[in-house]
């Protein structure tokens, strides 16, 4: 860092010698390699961390939306205590299924990309699909949870039984799935924009 | 573009001569100024467009959330036809007020920054506040609209009167405000990430 005129000092970090390969390092082709190398390795570390963080957030979203789906789908206790009598719960179930499918496919794709090192789509397209998909599914999840909350609340004022308890837990799982996906959407928004200039 | 070895050809576009000022152009310090200048002007144009687009989206969000606030707050027709008997409508009103205040302050700040050319906060901090604020308020708006929709729907199956009509229009204004803010959140997410590397 203190000797920007001696780029060979930084060769232990794996940087190419700038005099021999001037076009290998796209972002920093100047001789000031001391600053550039540490900036690039910092950036690599950050991107690696973000990739893992995004995978964890998607995995959590998958888990929570799967739980929400299972709890709500099994919430049938006869008579008026069936979830499919209420449009709010049908909406919640539909969105939980959608979110399970979306996050499942995304998690599989990311695991595949990390393990094989190959990209299925072009990087920019995949970053854009990630961001838009995360955003839209997060909006749908918070919308479905919000729609189901007031009726459940009103039901639980009158009575507390297994039906209202299951509904409440399915709703909270949807809210957790929303929180994970909102985090993941922020990370993929970050990725989307950094892609544009590399 | 076709002569990357003749940087002086592009001096009419206002680029510094690379041999004399090697550190003036952070993004493109190589002698290939023909590519660099057009890329930078393209980027300026895009950022200008995004700034205007973001201002328009925030203005629309301000208009729609103000409408939602006014319509819902004046939705009192006596007896059971008062909005404040229903927690969903109180929630919608609260979020509409919050969103009006937030988008109003943001629009004022952006108009002030564009007219005077001065930044109130540091650029990175203001980009981060923009992005987080837009995201959170957008989530709150879709949540409040979703919470109010099922009950309004059920009421309108039984009767159509001025109370349910006003509720429905306040809800749709909140949805429009959400759409505008979601757009604005995407733009400010883009701005946030490009700030990091300039």
Q: Note whether A189 contacts B190, CB cutoff 8 Å.
A: yes
pLDDT of A125 = 77
Mean pLDDT of chain B: 78
CB count in 10 Å sphere of residue B3: 10
Does position A190 have pLDDT exceeding 90, yes or no? no
Residue pair B92/B174 in contact by the 8 Å Cβ criterion: yes
Tokens found for residue A115 = 């393990």
pLDDT of B29 = 46
Does position A57 have pLDDT exceeding 80, yes or no? yes
Chain A contact set for B157 (CB, 8 A): none
Q: What DSSP string describes B39-74?
A: HHHHHHHHHHHHHHHHHHHHHHHHHHHHHHHHHHHT
pLDDT of B63 = 94
B169/B135 Cα distance (integer angstroms): 23
A22/B139 Cα distance (integer angstroms): 47
Q: Which of B64, B71, B153 is nearest to B100 (CA)?
A: B64
Residues present in chain A in total: 198
Q: Which of B58, B59, B90 is nearest to B170 (CA)?
A: B90
Query: What residues contact B84, with CB distance under 8 A and at least 6 apart?
Result: B76, B90
Chain B contact set for A153 (CB, 8 A): 87
pLDDT of B15 = 43
Tokens found for residue B194 = 């490009």
Residue A53 or A15, more confident? A53
Which residues, listed in sequence order, are joined to residue B76 by a DSSP beta bridge?
A: B82
B29, B142, B151: residue with CB nearest A139: B142
Query: What band does A35 get if pLDDT is binned at 50, 70 and 90?
Result: low
pLDDT of A119 = 74
Q: Note whether B182 contacts A87, CB cutoff 8 Å.
A: no
Distance from CA of A78 to the nearest CA of B (A): 23
Query: What band does B198 get if pLDDT is binned at 50, 70 and 90?
Result: very low
Residue pair A178/A142 in contact by the 8 Å Cβ criterion: yes
Chain A contact set for B193 (CB, 8 A): 189-190, 192-194
Residue pair B72/B166 in contact by the 8 Å Cβ criterion: yes
CA B40 from centre of chain: 24
Q: Using N-to-C axis directions, what is the helix angle for B123-158 and B87-116, rounded to 10°?
A: 150
Q: Does the predicted interface ipTM exceed a cut of 0.85?
A: no
Q: Is the pTM of this model over 0.80?
A: no
Q: Note whether B146 contacts A143, CB cutoff 8 Å.
A: yes
Does position B189 have pLDDT exceeding 80, yes or no? no
Does position B196 have pLDDT exceeding 70, yes or no? no
Cα-based angle B84, B89, B95 (whole degrees, multiple of 5): 115
Query: What band does B194 get if pLDDT is binned at 50, 70 and 90?
Result: low
Residue pair A54/A110 in contact by the 8 Å Cβ criterion: yes
pLDDT of B23 = 43
Residue pair A148/A88 in contact by the 8 Å Cβ criterion: yes
pLDDT tens column, A82-122: 888 888 899 999 999 999 999 999 888 888 887 887 777 77
Distance from CA of B80 to the nearest CA of A (A): 17
pLDDT of A194 = 65
Range B96-111 average pLDDT: 91
C-alpha dihedral sign at B114, B115, B119, B125: negative
Among A27, A140, A150, which would you mutate to test the B interface (most chain B Cβ atoms within 10 Å of its Cβ)? A150
Query: What residues contact A83, with CB distance under 8 A and at least 6 apart?
Result: A72, A73, A75, A76, A89, A90, A93, A167
Does position B185 have pLDDT exceeding 90, yes or no? no
Range B134-163 average pLDDT: 90
Chain A contact set for B147 (CB, 8 A): 146-147, 149-150
Distance from CA of B61 to the nearest CA of A (A): 17
Residue pair B168/B156 in contact by the 8 Å Cβ criterion: yes
Shortest CA distance from B136: residue in chain A: A182
Distance from CA of B41 to the nearest CA of A (A): 14
Tokens found for residue A74 = 């099994």
Among B25, B189, B192, which would you mutate to test the A interface (most chain A Cβ atoms within 10 Å of its Cβ)? B189
Which residues, listed in sequence order, are joined to residue A188 by a DSSP beta bridge?
A: none
pLDDT of B51 = 77
A30, A149, A153: residue with CB nearest B22: A30
Chain B contact set for A143 (CB, 8 A): 142-143, 145-146
- Which residue is it, tokens 């009509």? B165
Distance from CA of A161 to the nearest CA of B (A): 22
Distance from CA of B139 to the nearest CA of A (A): 7
Query: What band does A81 get if pLDDT is binned at 50, 70 and 90?
Result: confident
B22, B142, B149: residue with CB nearest A142: B142
Cα-based angle A146, A149, A152 (whole degrees, multiple of 5): 160
Query: What band does B181 get if pLDDT is binned at 50, 70 and 90?
Result: very high
Query: What band does B193 get if pLDDT is binned at 50, 70 and 90?
Result: low
Query: What band does B103 get if pLDDT is binned at 50, 70 and 90?
Result: very high
């Amino acid at each position: 860092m203190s000797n920007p005129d001696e780029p060979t000092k930084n060769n232990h970090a794996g940087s190419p010698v700038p005099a021999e390969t001037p076009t290998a390092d796209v972002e920093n082709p100047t001789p000031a390699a001391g600053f550039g190398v540490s900036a690039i390795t910092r950036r690599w570390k950050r991107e690696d961390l973000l990739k893992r963080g995004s995978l964890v957030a998607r995995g959590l979203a998958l888990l929570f939306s799967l739980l929400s789906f299972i709890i709500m789908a099994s919430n049938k206790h006869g008579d008026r205590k069936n979830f499919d009598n209420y449009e709010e719960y049908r909406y919640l179930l539909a969105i939980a299924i959608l979110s399970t499918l979306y996050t499942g496919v995304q998690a599989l794709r990311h695991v595949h990309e990390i393990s094989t090192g190959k990209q299925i789509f072009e990087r920019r397209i995949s970053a854009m699909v990630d961001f838009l998909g995360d955003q839209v599914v997060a909006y749908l999840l918070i919308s479905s949870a919000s729609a189901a909350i007031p009726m459940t609340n009103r039901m639980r004022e009158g009575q507390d039984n297994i039906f209202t308890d299951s509904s409440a837990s399915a709703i909270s799982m949807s809210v957790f799935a929303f929180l994970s996906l909102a985090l993941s959407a922020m990370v993929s928004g970050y990725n989307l924009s950094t892609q544009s200039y590399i």
